[in-house]
Copies of this chain bind each other. A is one copy, B any other.
Amino acid sequence: MDWLYTFDLIGCGVFAISGAILAFKRKMDGVGVLVLAAVTAIGGGTIRDLLLDAPVFWLTDANYFYVIFVASFGAVIWINQTQKLPAKSLEFADALGLALFVVMGTEKALSYGVSDITAIIMGMMTGCFGGMLRDVLANRVPMILQKELYAMCCIIGASIYVLALHFIPGIAVALGFSTVFILRLAAIKWHWQIHVFRYKN
């Protein structure tokens, strides 16, 4: 489907920008920016494909690299011009890319015949593990392990998508997509957290 592919490339671009921003904070050089941007953008889908033993999606499609290159380049110019990080304005776009990655990742896993629960985990990985690799390379504890329900939005959205496929397949994509998207924006706005541990002082 053409528009799915377009959204996928947009998601890649947005994720690449978040990698470039972290590269700026870590004072990386030109290649560091590109590597960190690429890892963020295609890392999650790559891990998914390796685990499914599917052909890695970017092996035969260089468009992903062009998008990553253009997005990183744009981010560098923007940061140099304005000396501001576009973090806030990115959150909307990031939630968009995330929602799409989760639905597409779950869908791809299902098409390889795995069980529902495995597909949900694959959807979460597609959305979250690129950012996890990015944070590991930048030598910090991955954000998805600590903040604002990032991974939980993905798991809930993927679950609803899989459930909907059984009962109302016609609107499953729309339902899964908007669940991730809305939950993510809400989690940012109201600073939702799941504190499972009680710490005494």
Contacts and interface: CB of A to CB of B under 8 A. Distances in A.
Interface of A: 23-24, 26-33, 35-36, 46, 50-53, 55-56, 58-60, 62, 65, 76, 79-80, 83, 114-115, 117-118, 121, 132, 136-142, 144-147, 149-152, 155, 193-200
Nearest to A55: B53
B155 A60 contact: no
A79 B60 CA distance: 46
Given A31-B144, A137-B132, A137-B141, A65 B195 contact: no
7 contacts: A23-B145, A26-B146, A62-B118, A65-B121, A76-B196, A79-B197, A132-B137
A196 B137 CA distance: 19
Contact of A144 (B32, B152, B199): B32
Given A59-B52, A60-B115, A147 B199 contact: no
Contacts of A142: 137
| Nearest 9 pairs of A and B residues by beta carbon | A32-B145, A30-B194, A31-B151, A30-B196, A62-B117, A139-B141, A29-B194, A28-B145, A31-B152
